[in-house]
Amino acid sequence: MRKASVMIAATRLLILGAAAGLAVFLPIAAFAAHGASPLKVVETTIVDAPPGKVWAVVSDFAHADWLPGVARIEASGDDVPDQARRKLIMVDGGVIEELLTKRDAERMLLGLHREGDDVKRLPATNYTALITLRPAEGGKTQVEWKARFYRGYPNNDPPPELNDDVALAAVTAMQRAYLAALKAKVEGK
Amino acid sequence: MPALVAGIHAKTMRRVVGKASKRFALAWMAGTSPATTAGVFLSLVIFAAPALADEAFVTAQGADALSIVDLSKMQTVATLPIGGKPAGVAVSHDGARAFITSPEGKFLTVIDAATRTIEKRIPIEGGPLGVAASPDGKRVYVADLYGRRLVEIDLANGAQRSVGVGAMASGVAVTPDGKTIIVADRDDNALSMIDAATFSRVATIAVGKHPFGVTIDAAGARAYSANVESDDLSVIDLASRKVVATLKCGSRPYTVALAKGRIFVANQHADSVSVFDAETLAPVQTLKVGEYPEGLAVSGDGARVYVANWFSNELWALDAQTLKVLGKAQTGDGPRAFGAFIRDAD
């Protein structure tokens, strides 16, 4: 029993070590190890502009420099799902890489997957988002930004700083900031 | 009414008629008039049928609950709080019980399916996720995601034993004869083959990248694994323990089900189900479904395929023959339904 728990502890260290190693040497890992319980956050806002105008901004995957904290963007893949990638070069020098997974102009739906995880920046892993636009009253647009992700710790019994609640709070705050920035960009404020 | 009658399959009709025949005999012995007896017979056919509808036992992980969906109405008719973030599910072959894994709570919940009550909770160390029941209903097999092991639970006495498998053990399937168990070792890109009698690992079979859901056909001849990272499906011949084909799917295939001589694969990122001919392995069609499809299972008569859509909180019914969408039901938040989640009315 004692041997087993030592082994589990060792495995945990190994996983943490591997995660740290990935963060330093391989920031672009397509899929990280994750546990058994995906989390979901759904945030919405109303933008005072018609859906077509909002879609023009949301769907421009390669030029989303309106995202908070982004200094500039390097993009490739011509907005083709599962090929197009963008590097968000952050004001603080960090880099976030995202893959476009869906771009449906008819349904006004954009999907993306964050490639590689940095739990220091966002205490969550395997972040996938789906942004959907729907017509709202008065010619306005409802924007829904929902995400699927896992907590920052890839195993059971997470440390308090990498548990579900921390991940949920961080993603909620991030998506609210994204929606506020989108609203400001489209409404010209 | 026609839709409802059409939804009752032959076995259910036999059961209803069988019950009605007994009532007829009793009524005759009690001296009831034939007209009344005919009335009893008819009302039994009409009113007994909905109660015998197939049901879906959908684990709603975000809601921490089990959504029970009446599949004749496509409506959630009961919600059972489970706790521990339920994910995996297996309904016993006789439909008497449902087994639900809670990977965060580290337990298996045994549900009396008819009364929709919790019979007991069985603690399982690690992260219980994939689950399958032995065909005789005496044993349950649970994959421990974190512990590199498959756990067997003897339901009669609660005894547990485990066998070592690969890293991040996920989906579990059992051959119809109950002799062989297949486990998807996600992070090893392989399947483990377990001999059920000795409960030992007899083979590992390399498949695509990150196999998650596994299914075995009715003949016990082939196993199938949906490989999340290589976007394909591995077809495995169980006798030779070899991959005989690899089929390209949509983005992030997660689970696989078999019906009407076809293979159905749920693609999480593509919001679709890939359909292949099980004989020729040729692609038949790709069906658009709800957002982020996960669990797939088949109705008792094999006519319908049900898919749980995690993002949109829906269960969709697909016609396995025409490949049309037959209906949608709202479920609790975050439906996973990872396993054999259909309770056959029979």
Confidence of residue A5 (pLDDT cuts 50, 70, 90): very low
- Smallest Cβ distance to A40: which of B62, B87, B103? B62
B333 touches chain A (CB under 8 A): yes
Candidates B292, B313, B336: best to mutate against A (most CBs of A within 10 A) is B292
Measured in angstroms, the CA of A36 and the nearest CA of chain B are apart by: 6
| Residue B319 exposed, middle or buried by CB count within 10 Å (0-12, 13-18, 19+) | middle
Q: Where do the structural domains in chain B lie, given as residue ranges?
A: 2-48, 54-343
- Which residues are CB-neighbours of A41 under 8 A, at least 6 positions away? A146, A147, A149, A168, A171, A172, A175
pLDDT score, position A32? 55
- Per residue in A20-40, pLDDT (tens digit) is 444 433 333 445 568 889 999
Measured distance CA(A164)–CA(A172) in Å, rounded: 12
Selected from 2.130.10.10, 3.20.20.70, 3.30.530.20, 1.10.150.110, the CATH number assigned to the domain covering B54-343 reads: 2.130.10.10
CA B197 from centre of chain: 23
Arithmetic mean of pLDDT over chain A: 87
What tens digit of pLDDT does each residue of A63-91 get?
A: 999 999 999 999 999 999 999 999 999 99
Nearest to A117 by CA among A27, A12, A39: A27
Low-confidence ranges of chain B (pLDDT < 70): 1-52, 346
B207-240, pLDDT tens digit by residue? 999 999 999 999 999 999 999 999 999 999 999 9
Q: Does residue A6 or residue A168 have the better pLDDT?
A: A168
For residue B215, what pLDDT is reported? 98
Give the number of A-B residue pairs with CB atoms closer than 8 Å: 55
Following DSSP, what letter does each residue of B176-234 receive, concatenated?
TTSSEEEEEEGGGTEEEEEETTTTEEEEEEE-SSSEEEEEE-TTS-EEEEEETTTTEEE
Chain A residue numbers touching B83 (CB-CB < 8 A): none
B48, burial (CB in 10 Å: exposed 0-12, middle 13-18, buried 19+): middle
Domains of chain A plus CATH, in order, are 30-187 (3.30.530.20)
ipTM, two decimals, is 0.81
